[in-house]
Amino acid sequence: MEKLTGLIARIFLGSLYFVSIIFILQFVLNTPQGYEAYQLNLMSKGLPGIFAPVSILVQLIFGIFLILGYKIKLTSYVFAVYSLIWAITYFLFMGNLPPDISPAVGQDLLLKGLQYLSLFGGFLYMAAHPQMGLSLDSFCANRKKN
């Protein structure tokens, strides 16, 4: 059961980022000036423009790595940092809301920030315990032993 639990955790965590980036790439590729719109959206939240290509690459490449269980420790640290950046971004964005905005908007931003903090913690735990069955890492380790 332990091997299956690690696989399920990796699939669900990885699919969050991988599916998200697939939707973003669809928007970017199917919308005139889609990339610029994506970049401006990130910049409106206080992130630098360079974060757009970095975000795309991190979510796409490391999302696949996580699902397959390849370089789990490195991938977990990358996603931990990525999640922390997003948590901080949402908290800072929340602090810059105009006073006449609906309280629901602030609550939504708070929840998003807390969700990313939860992911941050989960990825730190996964980085501390990267040995998982049913992963490319364990498959490669077993091949080296034999």
Q: How many CA atoms lie within 13 A of 34 on its CB side?
A: 10
> The whole model's pTM is what?
0.89
The pLDDT score that the predictor gives to residue 134 is: 87
pLDDT of residue 122: 94
Distance CA 13, CA 131 (A): 16
Q: List pLDDT tens digits, range 86-118.
A: 999 999 888 877 788 888 888 998 999 999 999
Q: What is the pLDDT of residue 31?
A: 93
Which one is predicted more confidently, 146 or 134? 134
Question: pLDDT at position 101, please?
Answer: 83
Residue 1 has pLDDT above 80, yes or no: no
pLDDT digit string, tens, across residues 34-76: 999 999 999 998 899 899 999 999 999 999 999 999 999 999 9
The amino acid that residue 83 corresponds to is: S
